[in-house]
Chain A
């Protein structure tokens, strides 16, 4: 086990390094001068050059890459060109919005998907099952930004029940903060819940068909107990993988939703940074998101291998 683990760790580090190189290269290729953007139309060539030196933009690519990596190891993600503040501070602030949003959306999705999947799986093949499957098909087909538009139209403008966007900050109280995240989370949760329902249902049906379950039922366990006791536990494994993947997707994929609801999260930070050519921010945040995905995958792999030793050989 330990040998396997060590191997996986090496692999993890290699992946992260490779990713960092790719991220850096891709972003370096992006044309557009952050200094020119910051100073605008009326600045002279001289002034722009002065700013470039001040930002350290005139050093070689390799020098900047090594600086960047070195900084990461010390917890310093660099300094934003436009905001002139340490990126690690900016990320820390934005994460307090993006992370809860992702968690809330995921919780809503799971809260919707579990009962729906259980319901459908237990009534498999019937009209109710078809009904649930039809709804999930619809849920997957709806673009979440369009859904968000409709939600705001109804709940913010017509009914005035919920804010149309913005984030008051956690100091304003948990209630106010969560209320601000509710509509965005719902918009994000709809397609996720649909996917999750389908996966869970499928996985449950598989698990229900397994031999050992027939044995359990033959031993006298009722259908309900069989479902809850055995099938559910085994069905959870692939579902947990999906949930893990969805979580990392939600962190980054909420860009559009964060824009629609003007939430100061990671997604919108990256979007604005790309627009203003604040490349350091883009590099660091993309790297962060990549690292998050790679880590989650790694943890899931470890969890699997720990549970099922057969999986320890590639």
Chain B
């Protein structure tokens, strides 16, 4: 535990940074509100996570779980309950003191019956929270689990003060190194340095998040000098131009986004594994990565992130093989197949979809493309399961257990897999966890639940000289605590 703390401190140490400086960060989507516990939009976390709000634990740039408002913790009784030691002298932006009561309030609020927290499952296992003293809490679980510190690092688990929680959507009051200044809806959010922060003060005096949804506009804004950074630059085709320009630096990292061609496993003929395998074989991953993402992205063979140490490389199992695909289709007795391909807005889906449609046509499968807005996609595909094929990127870390939910939109219902995931949830031995993960990956690849395309890359553009932005996205956030201008 101590070694982790040391590493954390070392990696968080600021460089020789100019004080009193500002930064303008570009984002594609504007958050609908600023309360990460009340909605699912990643954009909310991208603005407030680690900047305005903090939780008991937090994610580091490499995905590791680091201390947040809790300076240390320990698991007791094999993970049956945890003791968290809270930091002292922490204040909210409105001056209120942070203490154990706020922990109880925040977690109870999240797991309440009428809570609108989008990740309620994270808190489902919590039975009760005991206040030992002002800076110590005990969290008791219904079932022993090793996941609690990880779960508490999510943006949905950040700490709020009861007095200011009701207005969190429009006036977020947290404990972070930046406090909320203003939100010009449709345009930008402004944060300023919080001088009474409990930890190392931020190097930046002001951070402005500007919302630019059009990829062209994003490009123009960077080129024209209207922005200092665009951490998730939406148009990979322009990256070469930024790389060639000494004014800018391009960083290519990884995300937790497994981009998949999801197939409706409950709808014939997609319920036949041979048909699904045929579709997977018809796909040339590299063509999609090149055509849709201009070369940025890593091929995956199963639903797991390649940068994760437990990853098993199963790409070859479903390598591009049109002849093999045709043979499988014949074997399954499928001729003259037409499938609906519903695509949400992102480029990986729209462009990737067109490429996949052409590849499927080569093996005799016709597709009807329908471009949908997110609201329609959620309604038709996600809730209504009215689709054959769709392309989407699942960006939550360690989200294998979506395959253990038979009512999840692609409707994979396999008792063996469900049992596997159940055993993983209660397993605390590291080697055994690794083994289970490997088995799960093999199963998902063998059953070809979906066609696994590539891991989404995090391509960010910054003005040369701006340091400290995360290269990878273990969680969707723009942690500005270690960001500043170099001399």
Contact = CB atoms under 8 A, between A and B. Distances in A.
A31 B40 contact: no
A275 interface: yes
A90 B32 CA distance: 13
Contacts of B210: 166
Interface in B362-396: 373-376, 378-379, 382-383, 396
Interface stretch (A77-85, A108-116, A189-197): A77-85
B217 A32 contact: no
Contacts of B184: 93, 169, 264
A14 to B, nearest CB: 34
Interface residues of A, number: 49
Contact of A41 (B40, B120, B170): B40
A260 B215 CA distance: 9
A58 interface: no
A240 B41 CA distance: 47
B213 A262 contact: yes
A40 interface: yes
Nearest to B221: A164
A142 interface: no
Given A31-B376, A36-B378, A166 B119 contact: no
Interface stretch (A44-52, A67-75, A199-207): A44-52
A164 B169 contact: no
B115 A47 contact: yes
Contacts of B257: none
A259 interface: yes
Interface string B33-69: 1000001110000000000000000000000000000
Given A36-B378, A43-B118, A44-B120, A85 B185 contact: yes
A188 interface: no
Looking at B32, B41, B382, which has the most chain A CB atoms within 10 Å of its CB? B32
B32 A83 contact: yes
B170 A85 contact: yes
A276 B169 CA distance: 17
A262 B234 CA distance: 15
Interface in A6-56: 31-34, 36-44, 46-47, 50-51, 54
A139 interface: no
Nearest to A85: B170
B187 interface: yes
Interface of A: 31-34, 36-44, 46-47, 50-51, 54, 82-85, 90, 93-94, 149, 152, 156-157, 160, 163-167, 169, 259-262, 264-265, 268-269, 272, 274-277
30 contacts: A32-B375, A32-B378, A33-B379, A33-B383, A36-B375, A36-B378, A37-B374, A38-B39, A39-B39, A42-B118, A43-B118, A43-B120, A50-B114, A50-B115, A83-B33, A149-B216, A156-B223, A156-B224, A163-B224, A163-B226, A164-B217, A165-B217, A166-B212, A167-B187, A259-B213, A264-B186, A265-B186, A268-B186, A274-B373, A276-B32
